[in-house]
Amino acid sequence: MNNTTLLWELSEGIALLVINRPEVLNALNGQVLEALEAAFERIYTDPEVRGVILTGAGEKAFAAGADIAELSGLDALRGWEQARRGQRLFDRIERCPKPVVAAVNGYALGGGCELAMACHVRFAADTAQFGQPEVNLGLIPGYGGTQRLVRLVGRGRALELLLTGERISAERAYQIGLVNRVVPADRLLEEARAFLKTVLSKGPVAVRLLLEAVAAADLPLEAGLAREAELFGLAMATEDFREGTRAFMEKRKPVFRGR
């Protein structure tokens, strides 16, 4: 499924997606969005894919935002459509039934930071930088930055970044909870892969139900708790749950079958 703007490599159940426009710091143009839409279509349905790593080509950037040359030609209606299209895609990434790790290898700015925030977890190279610089362009974020950044780091810290457009280091991003881990740049993919392997060694149904349950954390608490209880009940009806508890009693490692 190789397309030159988005490279795809599947190994041991993990799809590695590489945004491949290094000459413009992997800026997200229409082609990248289209390729990501197609890739997630496959990820949702292909049983061979069990987890995903998303990264950028080269050493400088994960993605330096929406493609500014492309944005500059849009009128209000097309700008609104563009924002909605990206939001739909990023929402699909966030709701993906398989774990998605952003391996942030450099600049994650504007739409690039928004893309990383839509992934389930973020690992950053120690050389990465984050920011929502739209304000410098007379714009505001349009791919969910005003919403997901607030949820991840809190309103005050989010506003500080949004209002100044400043870039922050991976270390600072870690301090404020924007990224899960900071690792040496040359170990980034290895660490992301090791994390996914740990997740993939757990009961596959439980992993899927966890992702569903946590997606409900945006609902009011009462509705989120009701969803959690439903999914908990569903987990109890699985063979994996029976196997997991039996293995515990028998003091052995469980063999999960994803049923």
Q: What sign results for the dihedral spanned by CA atoms 231, 233, 235, 237?
A: negative
In angstroms, give the least distance from the CB of 15 to ligand HXC.
24
Binding flags for ligand HXC, 66-85, as an x/- string (CB under 6 A): xxxx------------xx--
User: How many chain residues bind ligand HXC (CB under 6 A)?
Assistant: 23
Q: Which one is catalytic: 37, 48, 94, 134?
A: 134
Interacting positions 95-114 with ligand HXC (CB under 6 A) = 107, 109-111
Residue 59 is a catalytic residue:
no
Do the Cβ atoms of 63 and 107 come closer than 8 Å? yes
Interacting positions 220-259 with ligand HXC (CB under 6 A) = none
Residue 160 is a catalytic residue:
no
Work out whether 57 is an interface residue with ligand HXC (CB under 6 A). Answer: no
Sequence-ordered list of residues with C-beta below 8 angstroms from that of 94, at least 6 positions apart, any chain: 118, 119, 120, 215
Q: Which residues are catalytic?
A: 114, 134
Residues at the contact surface with ligand HXC, assessed by CB under 6 A: 24-25, 27, 64-69, 82-83, 86, 107, 109-111, 133-134, 137, 139, 141-143
